[in-house]
Amino acid sequence: MPGGVATFQEWSARTGKNPFLLAYENRNVDPDDAQALANDASTCLLIAEGLPGGIEAPGFDMWEEAEEFHAFAVMVVKPRVLRAMEWPKAQSLASAAARQAQAALDDPGLRLPEFAGDAYPSHPRSVLAAVRLALPNGPLPRRMAAAKEAAALAPAEPGAGAARAARAATG
């Protein structure tokens, strides 16, 4: 499986396309498949974290986009799904859906999941309302954003400042 995930990620980095969103072209996704697609995207995201380059590898953001898109679709189709999930899974799904919903509010042109016959219209505010109880402190950030924030907050390596000063002085 990691080989397939790496192949998709490399293709996405080269083309700028996301294969996990192609299923929604022409509204040909069955609403009952939304949960399976969300689970697949989350699984691939976890695998991709362990690939060379991890979250900083080219194309990794494709997995986070897919996770958010499909989580949003799940919350449109099954707004009460969080009740049946264990807390970490519910918080992860709710966070991804909330990030997609907020992005759609910030950019009205953002593509959202659409289903055949408009049986499930995608409304960002409805999704935010459905996830609010699972996110008492707001949505968790994307993995890339969280890693960058953690790196910025990490204490400098002991002696790094002294070594930098010595190089500058001799430089």
Residue-wise pLDDT for 106-123, tens only, equals 999 998 888 766 667 778
pLDDT for 92: 92
Structural domain range at position 11: 2-146
pLDDT above 50 (res 141): yes
pLDDT for 119: 64
Whether 58 maps to a domain, the answer reads: yes
> CB of 18 within 8 A of CB of 100?
no
Pair of tokens at residue 17: 């396309």
In the three-class reduction of DSSP (H, G, I as helix; E, B as strand; rest coil), residue 138 is classed as: coil
**Domain tally for the chain?**
1
Mean pLDDT in residue range 92-102 = 95
Give tens-digit pLDDT for 65-95.
999 999 999 999 998 999 999 999 999 999 9
What b/e readout covers 3-30, taking b as 16+ CB neighbours within 10 angstroms? Answer: eebbebbeebeeeeebebbebbeeeebe
pLDDT for 59: 87
pLDDT above 70 (res 125): yes
Count how many Cα atoms sit within 13 Å of the Cα of residue 31 in the half-sphere of its side chain: 14
- Which stretch of DSSP H or E encloses residue 104? helix 87-106
**Cα separation, 153 vs 108, whole angstroms:** 33
Whether 164 maps to a domain, the answer reads: no
What's the pLDDT band for 162 if we cut at 50, 70, 90?
very low
**Cα separation, 142 vs 26, whole angstroms:** 28
> CB of 125 within 8 A of CB of 101?
yes
Whether 6 maps to a domain, the answer reads: yes
Determine how many CB atoms are found less than 10 A away from the CB of residue 129: 13
pLDDT above 90 (res 3): no
Pair of tokens at residue 39: 């689970």
**Cα separation, 9 vs 45, whole angstroms:** 10
Nearest in space to 65 (alpha carbons), one of 33, 92, 100, 15: 100
Mean pLDDT in residue range 3-24 = 85
Residue indicated by tokens 């859906």: 97
pLDDT for 93: 94
Whether 169 maps to a domain, the answer reads: no
Whether 138 maps to a domain, the answer reads: yes
Residue indicated by tokens 């697609």: 37
Mean pLDDT in residue range 20-41 = 80
Q: Please compute Rg for the chain using Cα positions.
A: 19
Whether 23 maps to a domain, the answer reads: yes
pLDDT above 80 (res 25): no
In the three-class reduction of DSSP (H, G, I as helix; E, B as strand; rest coil), residue 106 is classed as: helix
Whether 154 maps to a domain, the answer reads: no
pLDDT for 169: 46
Whether 120 maps to a domain, the answer reads: yes
Give tens-digit pLDDT for 41-66.
899 888 998 988 988 888 889 899 99
pLDDT above 50 (res 97): yes
